[in-house]
Amino acid sequence: MEFKKIGVLTSGGDAPGMNAVIRAVTRAANAAGVETLGIFDGYQGLMDGNVVAFTESDVSNIIGKGGTVLYTARAAEFKEPSGMEKALKTCRDHEIDGIIAIGGDGTFRGANDLTAHGMPTIGLTGTIDNDITATDYTVGFDTAMNTVLECVDRLRDTCESHARCSVVEVMGRDAGYIALQSGIATGAIGIVIKEIPFDEDAMMQRIIKARASGRRSFVVIVAEGVKDENGKPYGEGLTARIEEKTEVEARFVRLAHIVRGGSPTLRDRLAASLMGEAAVKLLLEGKSNLVVCERNAKIVAFEINFALTLDKMYKNKLKIGDLDRFSAAEIHEMEGLAELRRREIREMYNAALALM
């Protein structure tokens, strides 16, 4: 089929670099003689017909801008048949031939539904959490970690002055990648993530020993997804226990959404640009229902169903029947990738421990 118009939307939590993707999609489409339509407010805007033609000038100077110029929204109705009907009507009204949807796993579920209803859709990862198992990298991750670094470096100054410990909670509802990598890069004395059992006593001993030998400042990084036995954020209780057990004064800091904003780093601008260009190419080649990923520094694409099921496998959330539609070779590939991610995180955590 001949493509005349591509729609682009951002959905779910925003991430630095989303604008660089929007720019890349618009430019690559334009270069191929295809018009780009910006769909505002994610799937909500697709249902509401909130669609505007995007020209080159609409995307000039946005490569370094944080957030998303297309805005984002949660859209519960999109999961209902009535929501899909409205979205398809918008596509018909605006003669949209294909959609590029930027976001995380919720965004890809929407992309999958659109494809199932005859609207070719390609997904592209935009989430600070780096929690899409099929890809080595998600757009936004590097900027988020650099922001954590900047904040923790500042906390380090005041901890050093007061001989204190900062317990810093960083985003990552389901994944500890931000906590783990920024923990290593800030010289944390403890890193708490869901994926690896945390030895709290060993960390207390490290703090006591280091304090006795004259160290004044301590940083502990905790992923927000880790909760205590009462379902409360783990870092809050941990802060009190550090004071009790080590006699080092401790303060709890939640970085939260601060880490989602800001101008994207080179890593994110580059990934966004290359992935955006690749997504347009895939659509124009007639491909659909794929998510653009990075594997071993190359841009590749996986079936969205494959990527979503792999995520479930990695998080041990597979339900009976989830694997039925896949061949033995595909299941084998999924198992290999899930194991690779688990190994990567284990090995990195062990290296972090050796450096504490």
**Active site (catalytic) residues:** 129
233-272 positions binding ligand F6P, by CB under 6 A: 260
Least gap, CB of 208 to ligand F6P (angstroms): 32
Residue nearest to ligand F6P (CB): 13
13 binds ligand F6P (CB under 6 A): yes
Q: CA-to-CA distance for 156 and 150, rounded, in angstroms?
A: 10
Query: Which of 90, 127, 138, 143 touches ligand F6P (CB under 6 A)?
Result: 127
DSSP state of 336: H
171 binds ligand F6P (CB under 6 A): yes
308 binds ligand F6P (CB under 6 A): no
CB nearer to ligand F6P: give 52 or 258. 258
The residue behind tokens 């899409």 is 132
CA angle at residue 182 from 176 to 188, to 5 degrees?
100
Question: How does DSSP assign 162-176, residue by residue?
Answer: HTEEEEEEE--SS--
CB nearer to ligand F6P: give 52 or 149. 149
What the block records as the tokens of 214 is 């004259």
Q: CA-to-CA distance for 152 and 176, rounded, in angstroms?
A: 17
Query: Which of 42, 66, 123, 172 touches ligand F6P (CB under 6 A)?
Result: 172
Q: CA-to-CA distance for 163 and 156, rounded, in angstroms?
A: 10
Q: CA-to-CA distance for 196 and 179, rounded, in angstroms?
A: 12
Q: Which stretch binds ligand F6P (CB under 6 A): 126-134, 158-166, 184-192, 288-296?
A: 126-134
CB nearer to ligand F6P: give 138 or 186. 138
What the block records as the tokens of 122 is 């390609």
- Sequence letter at residue 301: A
CB nearer to ligand F6P: give 37 or 168. 168
132 binds ligand F6P (CB under 6 A): no
Q: Which stretch binds ligand F6P (CB under 6 A): 83-91, 167-175, 210-218, 343-351?
A: 167-175
8 binds ligand F6P (CB under 6 A): no
Least gap, CB of 253 to ligand F6P (angstroms): 16
Q: What share of the chain is helix, strand, coil (3-state, %, to 5)?
A: 50, 20, 35
CB nearer to ligand F6P: give 208 or 345. 345
Q: What are phi and psi of 28, to 5 degrees?
A: -65, -40
CB nearer to ligand F6P: give 170 or 275. 170
Q: Which stretch binds ligand F6P (CB under 6 A): 124-132, 276-284, 305-313, 324-332?
A: 124-132
173-202 positions binding ligand F6P, by CB under 6 A: 173
**Cα Rg of the chain, angstroms:** 22
Q: What are phi and psi of 93, to 5 degrees?
A: -60, -40
CB nearer to ligand F6P: give 132 or 219. 132
Least gap, CB of 107 to ligand F6P (angstroms): 11
Q: Residue count at the site for ligand F6P (CB under 6 A)?
A: 9
Query: Which of 20, 128, 313, 337 touches ligand F6P (CB under 6 A)?
Result: 128
Q: Are 5 and 94 in contact, with CB atoms under 8 Å apart?
A: yes
What the block records as the tokens of 340 is 């690779």
Q: CA-to-CA distance for 50 and 299, rounded, in angstroms?
A: 31
Q: Which stretch binds ligand F6P (CB under 6 A): 20-28, 86-94, 125-133, 180-188?
A: 125-133
Q: How would you classify the pairing of strands 298-303 and 164-170?
A: unpaired
129 binds ligand F6P (CB under 6 A): yes
**Strand segments (E) across the chain:** 5-10, 35-39, 51-54, 98-103, 121-125, 164-170, 190-192, 218-223, 249-254, 290-295, 298-303
Q: Which stretch binds ligand F6P (CB under 6 A): 61-69, 169-177, 205-213, 285-293?
A: 169-177
**Interface ranges with ligand F6P (CB under 6 A):** 13, 127-129, 171-173, 224, 260
